[in-house]
Amino acid sequence: MFYFIDSVCEINHSNILNLAELSIKFSEASADIRNSAEHPNRLTDRWIKSLEQGSPDYGVYGEEGYFAELIACWIVYSRKYLLEVKKKLYEFSDPKVIVDLGCGFGFTTAGIKSIFPNASVYGTNLIGTLQYQICEKVGEKYNFKMVNDIHDVNGEIDLVFGFEYFEHFESPVEHLIEILSKNPKQLLVANTFGSMAIGHFENYNYRGISFPRKEMQKKFNDCLVDYGYEQGKIGFWNSRPQYWTRRELQMSDEFDFGDITWTTKKVKIKEIRDWDKNPRRISKKDAADLKFSIKKFGLAEPLVVNLDYSLIGGHQRKKLINVPELEIDVRVPNRMLTEKEAAELGIRLNKNTGTWDDDALANFFNQEDLISWGFTEDQLLGEEFEGGDGEGRVPVGEPELKISPELFERHDYIVFYFDNELDWNVINELFQLQVVFTAPVGGKTLKQKGLGRIIPGKKLLEIINRASG
């Protein structure tokens, strides 16, 4: 052990061994003793004092006292976890790629390689630190590789180890989400959020809110479930380490939904982060219509968010509600969408929505209702508009013939509908209706307008007069 450490730096062997022995005895003592007695490693006091001063002293990670903690952690915890894993090898389906997060001196990583000799094993640690340099030496001896971050490992990851690791991040759930973005098949995790040690925090951040450390394990587990993992029950003593597996999706043979599934959760408005690149805008009229709809029907369509609760779809609804403490339904994916995926989905939610069937609108809905529900008269009369001028109307292109205001005349109309084919055929023959197309504009023929729906009233009067005469 000291051979690898000595190859990188000079240390006091006896001091480290004494501190490690005291830490081992303290860790193996009863909970009552641990809660009432001071930790024998004075470096713990230095760390806690730095937290009280609001400036975590990360320099503790390079001290001999922390080296002693790593040795104690290996003897008391990690070594026992690996023995449990070795007993349950049949559960792990011959993993090809394994990552050991925050691998300390590399003792656990070396043990993992001995248990899974055919796997490519990687340890992660911060490049440039003494620990990283020591791990490189251990890796050369025991045939594993060191990387700075899990994202430096290419391809699919079968198994992730995280022993006494996530407690060292002030925002552990957010860091977990980063790990899960690699979509590993299985995880073995042993957290000790409930204990105070070097590198642990009294309070942890979760989506911008501070929580006591004892509350973090549940939020950590909830995140794994939200991300599409389920906790396996394979008989580890005291359920340590926790064993999590990625749920296999059972998709329809007729339609491939891909690897992303969605669940509905309740979240406070204040926890949802806006997307600062949202390209959607809303006119005053549309905002008023939307607000009325929400007041009348509630939030019938949930907002769509990423795993970190950054908003993907529903920006205008969130803006209109604007009640920070209100809990609403949101749709959450089983894995973190990349920035590009989230952007694409945000566009598609608003763009890939189909068009209106003009005939169905005219035949099955009352015009006044449609206008009160958000349509404009221009839209119902077939005029197409995009964009907005503050009122949501900007004409597409220029008309071939510009109409001056004085040429406008009054146009009243009555709409008749026919609920059977016989009557419709009579009217069709009576009025000699024909299919009408718009004239070519700029060499391009626009869409079909249908069977002459608008006929001068004079023609109807002529037919009525002939019938009555």
- What's the pLDDT tens digit per position in 338-353? 888 888 888 888 776 6
Give the mean model confidence (pLDDT) for residues 102-112.
92
Give the mean model confidence (pLDDT) for residues 116-140.
92
Arithmetic mean of pLDDT over the chain = 79
What does the alpha-carbon distance between residue 179 and residue 150 come to, in Å, rounded to a whole number? 7
Nearest to 106 by CA among 9, 4, 242: 4
Cβ atoms 453, 412 nearer than 8 A: no
Please write the tens of the pLDDT for every residue from 292-348: 888 888 888 899 999 889 999 988 888 888 888 989 999 999 888 888 888 888 888
Q: Which residues contact 362 (CB under 8 A, 6 or more apart)?
A: 380, 415, 417, 453
Nearest to 416 by CA among 454, 443, 379: 454
Nearest to 189 by CA among 170, 213, 172, 211: 172
What does the alpha-carbon distance between residue 269 and residue 280 come to, in Å, rounded to a whole number? 19
pLDDT at 286: 81
Q: Which contiguous run of DSSP H or E holds residue 455?
A: none
Cβ atoms 98, 160 nearer than 8 A: yes
**Cα 106 to the chain's mean position, in Å?**
32
pLDDT at 197: 87
pLDDT at 408: 43
Highest mean pLDDT among 18-32, 124-138, 248-262, 388-402: 124-138
Cβ atoms 120, 97 nearer than 8 A: yes
pLDDT, greater one: 377 or 164: 164
Please write the tens of the pLDDT for every residue from 392-450: 344 444 444 444 444 445 556 677 776 776 777 777 777 776 655 554 545 554 444 44
pLDDT at 389: 40
**Nearest 5 degrees, angle CA 146-CA 149-CA 150?**
95
Give the mean model confidence (pLDDT) for residues 192-218.
89
Tell me the three state secondary structure of residue 49: helix
Give the mean model confidence (pLDDT) for residues 173-178.
93
Give the confidence band of 6 by pLDDT, cuts at 50, 70, 90.
low
Give the mean model confidence (pLDDT) for residues 11-39.
75
pLDDT > 90 fraction of the chain, expressed in percent and rounded? 29
